[in-house]
Amino acid sequence: MNYAAPFPYFGGKRRAAHLIWQAFGDPSGYVEPFAGSAAVLLARPAFTGRRVETINDADGWLVNTWRAIQHDPASVASHALGPVSEIDYHARLAWLQERRTPELPAWLEGDPEAFDAKAAGWWLYVLSCGIGDPFGPGPWRVIEGALTDTRKLPHLGDAGKGINRELPHLGDAGQGINRKLPHLGDAGKGDLGRLSAYLQALADRLRRVRITCGDWRRVCTPSVTRAGCGGDGGRAIFLDPPYATSGDLYAHKDGHQTVAAEVRDWCTSREAQGLLLALCGYDDEHNDLLNAGWSVIKGKSGSGAGYSTRSDNGRRERIWLSPECHIAQPDLFGCVEAEG
């Protein structure tokens, strides 16, 4: 079965997944420290037996959603459904934003089985109804339970933007999360049955996957990457940090070095030696790695096809691969032309 996350996600790497698995083979241990929609994990070619797989993200509600799908897909489905309504959309978004506190990741970090199915369902609803990133740092904030425009003056020149950025896809009225579901051969089932069946299939895929919340470094240690038996013995990490330009809540740390730069530094550290590593970025962002024997994959020139589902920055996207990866012969400049 071809799995896909039940929500749209900025920077999702579904289109690059086959390249990653060509490079990684069938590793015994696999870690996705910046999981987002876990597009690469979900596109892993089928295997039999055990593999040690870990996904992690710093975003508490995102991790809560994966955990809730893993443990209680039916409850998540029942909370996610509902007609697209502006009132419900704003109320659910406000409810989630108010509870996005430092205690949220701490709670998920401290108990590997912690999850809240209602919050997960509402999070899916908000992501599926909204345009762009509904949780982004725009001028709209939750104040005393209501979405409020915190700008001092109205941006008259922005007519048509503002809160409209947050509006549900009215053209999809009544569809909400359903428009994201792949066809499951589910004739005769209602919306709830279809969504439950899809989330149940995801739960089955995730049954043995460790799902953690917190900073990426916590899952790049030898104790996490160490693999058991099964697979070809490799230990692989797919690194897809937020791009500095993405406006991601977590792109910068303490206002200094970007997370992406921190990850690149780590890639050449002793801890990273011997691992199958793939690092995503833009342009020549991580080309220093070429001096350490790494290669870089570029999309086919002229195709305009990037790896994420965003077309605007697609041409600039690159994936750097550590020397341990299985790759076609790179050219003199360490470049590998992407296939497919």
Ligand X SMILES: C[S@@+](CC[C@H](N)C(=O)[O-])C[C@H]1O[C@@H](n2cnc3c(N)ncnc32)[C@H](O)[C@@H]1O
Residue type (1 letter), 66: W
Answer for which of 19, 20, 23, 39 binds ligand X (CB under 6 A) is 39
Taking the least distance from each CB to ligand X, the nearer of 74 and 114 is 114
Q: Return the number of other C-beta atoms located less than 10 Å from residue 211's C-beta.
A: 25
Q: For ligand X, which residue of 13, 180, 205, 235 counts as binding (CB under 6 A)?
A: 13
| Binding of residue 275 to ligand X (CB under 6 A) | no
CB 97 within 8 A of CB 119: no
Q: CB 339: neighbour CB atoms within 10 A?
A: 10
Phi/psi zone of residue 115: left (φ > 0), alpha (ψ -120 to 50 degrees), beta? beta
Site mask, ligand X, residues 237-266, x = CB under 6 A?
Answer: ---x-x-----x-x--------x-------
User: In angstroms, what is the minimal distance from the CB of 55 to ligand X?
Assistant: 10
With CB under 6 A as the contact rule, the residue among 33, 168, 299, 306 that binds ligand X is 33
Q: What backbone torsions phi and psi does residue 70 show, to the nearest 5 degrees? A: -65, -40
Residues β-bridged to residue 336: 297
DSSP state of 137: S
Which residue of the chain is nearest ligand X when measured via CB? 36
Minimum distance from residue 5 beta carbon to ligand X (Å):
7
Report the site for ligand X in 49-108 (rule: CB under 6 A).
57-59, 62
89 contacts 267 by C-beta, under 8 angstroms: no
Nearer to ligand X, 81 or 120 (CB): 120
Torsion sign over Cα 303, 315, 299, 291: positive
Catalog residues that contact ligand X under the rule CB under 6 A.
9, 11-13, 33-34, 36-37, 39, 57-59, 62, 215-216, 240, 242, 248, 250, 259
